[in-house]
């Protein structure tokens, strides 16, 4: 049997396992879906309420809603990818299967590819449902939006978030007890500096410097240009290439860091301990 | 005629070569552990606190030893042994004697601090992937995705070893029904199964990849007598009919006596005896009855405890 077929089957193993886990934990997935929808709607309603809060009638409530809807959806998608990937070790520590998976004759890149493919597909599905509910709720007009451009931005952003996720997945490997919780720090900082619900220009200067290094900043700006202004896809390139570049650097770097962490865990006996 | 003769000679030669190859294969080693050493733990408190402790200890030198709570533990202490292909090799030892660490080192889940371990000629550190293709492991805790069914769990495990789905599904049903699982249990969540049943699924998971070396870390611990016998029968069959080399750790002395061709008794990370069960029994003398493996085990591992207590 060729190595390629072996690696393909192993990649599929992670996708199929995750699909089975979602199926078995369907009630949890439903709860998380309702929570995510409620959360996204709550943020988006801020746009509707701005006119009343500020008392300024010049505020374009519809525009603001769409601005926030894009922020919340893009963020939901990117953070979902991040959490699925960082959970590659966390979920196995929880179940106690980590030693069996890491003992299997598969390359770590295959392992990550399986988890990543699943992460992207599931996050798309998850976000699409939130999108449908949000569009229905706010009666959003997207007739002028460049949907294709928005999708390209999201896909480019996926690449960089995969890299960040692979790096983040090292934490549960190194810290069996609290590693999974530590990954929240990464996502919290990215949320703060990337302009998810506000333009990065409102941030203090030192945080704006951090925003330059966040792939989400480019994804959000590009997606907003595509969906709010209908900017053509080719004009989104200044926002696409930085996130692609970050992905191209972050994925191999993440895999390398993961390799080092795995070696450290095997040297110190941290694989065995379940968090 | 000549051609027939030549063919016959070639056949004979190849048969002889095959026999020789088989003989060599039987004689050659499945595992070579050479001076393997593994220790765990480092001082949990920071350097400045440790320095302060040393200083305080010096100031109040009242004869007490410095605190040893975080002293590194030597789990495997320069252990060397060989396991032949097709052998069932037992490792016996008290809790914490380093049996599971030894298995994890062979299974590529831990890296030795020094020494080397080879599995079928492949180094477990430098050629981990090649080793992983040839081995599988059953541990004392049946580790599974609890919400998933045995079928889903085993399918996942099998695909990681490059096995095809359709064939695996058929094999899962075959193996599990043979191990005594009802068909409906195969599709129910693992969390609904008893520990014994889960352990059988763990054994099935290991069998699916057809390992040449099977590492069994207390596979029958916690099983009822019937399940224990069923598992032991599978182990014996794997070894006798498929030539699978098996490294078995157990606390069940009768099981070790019946299954293992040779046994190593380990204590505090060191091998204190290694021989066939029969030869091990000659190491100690008992008045009135023939010593059992348990007598040998207690004698070789218990004496030391008494000695340490006396010294303390």
- Chain A residues within an 8 Å CB radius of B40: 268-269
CATH number of the structural domain spanning residue B127: 3.40.50.300
Q: Two tokens at B203?
A: 């054994």
Contacts with A6 from chain B: Cβ below 8 Å: 162
Q: How do beta strands B135-138 and B88-92 pair? A: unpaired
Q: Is the CB of A101 inside 8 Å of chain B's CB atoms?
A: yes
Q: Name the residue with tokens 């699409």.
A: A128
Residues forming a β-bridge with B273: B265
Contacts of A104 (CB under 8 A, 6+ apart): A10, B132, B157, B160, B161
Q: How far is CA B88 from CA B35, B56, B235, B244, in A?
A: 21, 53, 9, 8
Tokens describing residue A22 = 């979602």
Overall residue count recorded for chain B in this entry: 312
CB contacts, 8 Å: A10 with chain B: 159-160, 162
Domain for residue B247, yes or no?
Answer: yes
Chain B residues lying within 8 Å of A20, measured CB to CB: 145, 148, 152, 156
Let me know if A155 is exposed, middle or buried by CB neighbors in 10 A (0-12, 13-18, 19+).
middle
- Of residues A13, A21, A101, nearest to B147 (C-beta): A21
B99-120 residue pLDDT tens: 999 999 999 999 999 999 999 9
**Cβ-Cβ contacts under 8 Å, A269 against chain B:** 40, 101, 104, 110
Q: Which residues of chain B have pLDDT under 70?
A: 1-27, 42-48, 50-51, 53-70, 303-312
Residue B87 counted as domain residue = yes
Tokens for A177, please give them.
């007890």
Query: Is B169 in contact with B155 (CB distance < 8 Å)?
Result: yes
Contact at 8 Å (CB) between B283 and B277?
Answer: no
Question: A266 at the B interface (CB within 8 A)?
Answer: yes
User: Which residue is listed with tokens 């934490």?
Assistant: A171
Q: How far, in Å, CA of B108 to CA of B131, rounded? A: 8
Evaluated on CA atoms B66, B67, B70, B72, the torsion sign reads positive
pLDDT at A65 over 70: yes
Which range has the worst mean pLDDT, A45-49, A107-111, B118-122? A45-49
- pLDDT at res. B57: 55
Q: How many CB atoms lie within 10 A of CB A188?
A: 10
Residue tagged 């695996």 (tokens): B168
Compute CA distances A231 → A197, A243, B135, B254, B299, whole Å. Answer: 20, 18, 56, 77, 83
Backbone angles phi, psi at A126, to 5 degrees: -60, -45
| pLDDT, averaged across chain A | 91
B141 in contact with chain A, both atoms CB, cutoff 8 A: yes
Cα B248 to Cα A77, A210, B245, B278, distances in angstroms: 47, 54, 10, 17
What pLDDT was estimated at residue A218? 96
Secondary structure of residue A85 in the 3-state scheme: helix
Within-domain flag for B268: yes
User: Could you list the residue range(s) of the whole structural domain that residue B236 is in?
Assistant: 78-142+212-311
Residue B51 lies in a domain: no
- Asked if residue B199 lies in contact with residue B227, where contact means CB atoms within 8 angstroms, the answer is yes
**Cβ separation of A16 and B163 shorter than 8 Å?**
no
How does pLDDT run across A6-33, given as a tens digit for each residue? 888 999 999 999 999 999 999 999 999 9
Report if residue B67 sits inside a domain. no
| Token pair recorded at residue A265 | 């865990």
The burial class, CB within 10 Å (0-12 / 13-18 / 19+), for B294 is: middle
Q: What was the pLDDT predicted at A140? A: 82
Q: Is residue B162 part of a domain?
A: no
Cβ distance B40 to A269 less than 8 Å, yes or no, reads: yes
d(CA B206, CA B209): 6
Lowest-confidence region among A46-55, A124-133, B164-173: A46-55
The answer to whether A177 touches A268, Cβ cutoff 8 Å, is no
CB atoms within 10 A of CB B147: 18
Residue B111 in any domain: the answer is yes
Q: Computed over its alpha carbons, how large is the radius of gyration of chain A? A: 20
Can you tell me the distance from the alpha carbon of B159 to that of A10, in angstroms, rounded to the nearest whole number?
Answer: 5
Say how far apart CA A275 and CA A196 lie, in whole Å.
32
Is residue B163 in a domain? no
Q: State the Cα angle at A187 between A181 and A188, rounded to 5°.
A: 90
Q: Do A271 and B110 touch (CB under 8 A)?
A: yes
**What 3 state SS string does A196-229 have?**
CCCCHHHCCHHHHHHHHHCHHHHHHHHHHHHHHH
Confidence class of residue A139 from pLDDT cuts 50, 70 and 90?
Answer: confident
| Interface predicted TM-score of the whole assembly (ipTM), two decimals | 0.88
Q: If contacts are CB pairs under 8 Å, which of residues 174-233 in chain B contact chain A?
A: 189, 205
Q: Report the distance separating Cα B274 and Cα A193, nearest Å.
A: 63
List the alpha helices (DSSP H) in chain B: 2-27, 47-59, 99-106, 128-134, 150-160, 165-178, 195-208, 225-242, 253-259, 277-281, 293-311
Q: Please name the member of B147, B155, B162 whose beta carbon is closest to the beta carbon of A5.
A: B162
User: How many inter-chain contacts (A to B, CB under 8 Å) are there?
Assistant: 90
Pairing of strands B262-267, B270-275: antiparallel
Residue A264 has pLDDT above 90, yes or no: yes
pTM of the model: 0.84
User: Residue B10: its pLDDT value, please?
Assistant: 37
Q: What is the pLDDT of residue B169?
A: 95
Higher-scoring residue by pLDDT: A2, A265? A265
More confident residue, B129 or A140: B129
Contact status of A60 with chain B (Cβ, < 8 Å): no
Q: Tell me the helix, strand and coil percentages in chain A, rounded to 5.
A: 85, 0, 15
Q: How many residues does chain A have?
A: 275
Interacting residues of A57 by C-beta distance below 8 A, sequence separation 6+:
A51
Percent of chain A with pLDDT over 90: 75
In the numeric block, the tokens 């059992």 are attached to B292
């Amino acid at each position: 049997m060729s190595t390629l077929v072996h690696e393909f089957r192993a990649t599929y193993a992670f996708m199929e396992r995750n699909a089975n886990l979602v199926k078995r934990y369907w009630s949890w997935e439903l709860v998380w879906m309702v929570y995510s929808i409620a959360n996204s709607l709550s943020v988006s309603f801020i746009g509707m309420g701005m006119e009343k809060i500020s008392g300024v009638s010049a505020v374009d409530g519809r525009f603001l809603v769409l601005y926030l809807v894009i922020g919340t959806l893009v963020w939901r998608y990117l953070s979902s990818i991040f959490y699925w990937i960082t959970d590659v070790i966390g979920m196995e520590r929880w179940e106690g299967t980590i030693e069996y998976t890491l003992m299997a004759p598969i390359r770590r890149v295959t392992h990550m590819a399986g988890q990543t493919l699943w992460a992207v597909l599931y996050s798309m599905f998850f976000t699409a449902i939130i999108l449908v509910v949000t569009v229905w709720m706010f009666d959003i007009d997207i007739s002028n939006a460049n949907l294709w451009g928005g999708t390209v931005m999201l896909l480019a952003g996926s690449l960089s978030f995969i890299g960040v996720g692979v790096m983040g997945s090292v934490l549960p490997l190194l810290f069996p007890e609290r590693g999974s919780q530590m990954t929240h720090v990464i996502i919290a900082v990215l949320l703060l500096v990337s302009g998810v619900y506000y333009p990065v220009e409102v941030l203090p200067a030192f945080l704006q410097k951090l925003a330059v290094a966040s792939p989400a900043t480019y994804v959000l700006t590009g997606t907003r240009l595509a969906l709010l202004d209908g900017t053509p896809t080719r004009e989104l390139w200044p926002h696409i290439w930085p996130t692609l570049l970050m992905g191209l650097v972050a994925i191999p770097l993440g895999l390398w860091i993961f390799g080092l962490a795995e070696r450290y865990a095997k040297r110190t006996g941290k694989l065995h301990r379940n968090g | 005629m000549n051609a027939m003769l030549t063919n016959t000679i070639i056949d004979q030669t190849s048969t002889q070569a095959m026999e020789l190859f088989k003989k060599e294969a039987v004689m050659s080693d499945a595992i070579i552990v050479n001076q393997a050493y593994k220790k765990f733990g480092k001082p949990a408190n920071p350097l400045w606190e440790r320095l302060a402790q040393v200083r305080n200890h010096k100031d109040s030198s009242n004869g007490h030893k410095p605190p040893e709570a975080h002293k590194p533990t030597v789990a495997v202490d320069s252990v060397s042994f060989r396991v032949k292909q097709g052998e069932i090799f037992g490792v016996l030892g008290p809790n914490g004697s380093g049996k599971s660490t030894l298995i994890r080192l062979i299974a590529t889940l831990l890296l030795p601090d020094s020494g080397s371990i080879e599995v079928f000629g492949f180094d477990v550190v430098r050629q981990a992937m090649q080793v992983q293709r040839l081995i599988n492991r059953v541990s004392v805790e049946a580790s599974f995705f609890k919400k998933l069914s045995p079928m889903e769990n085993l399918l996942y495990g099998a695909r990681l070893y490059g096995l095809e789905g359709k064939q695996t599904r058929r094999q899962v049903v075959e193996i599990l029904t043979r191990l005594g699982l009802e068909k409906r249990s195969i599709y129910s969540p693992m969390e609904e199964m008893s520990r014994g049943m889960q352990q059988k699924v763990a054994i099935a998971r290991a069998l699916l990849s057809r390992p040449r070396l099977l590492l069994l870390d207390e596979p029958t611990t916690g099983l009822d007598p019937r399940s224990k016998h069923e598992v032991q029968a599978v182990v014996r069959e794997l070894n006798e009919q498929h030539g699978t080399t098996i490294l078995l750790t157990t606390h069940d002395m009768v099981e070790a006596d019946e299954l293992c061709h040779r046994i190593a008794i380990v204590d505090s990370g060191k091998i204190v005896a290694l021989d066939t069960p029969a030869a091990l029994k000659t190491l100690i003398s008992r008045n009135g009855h023939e010593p059992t493996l348990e007598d040998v085990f207690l004698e070789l591992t218990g004496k030391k405890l008494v000695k340490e207590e006396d010294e303390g």
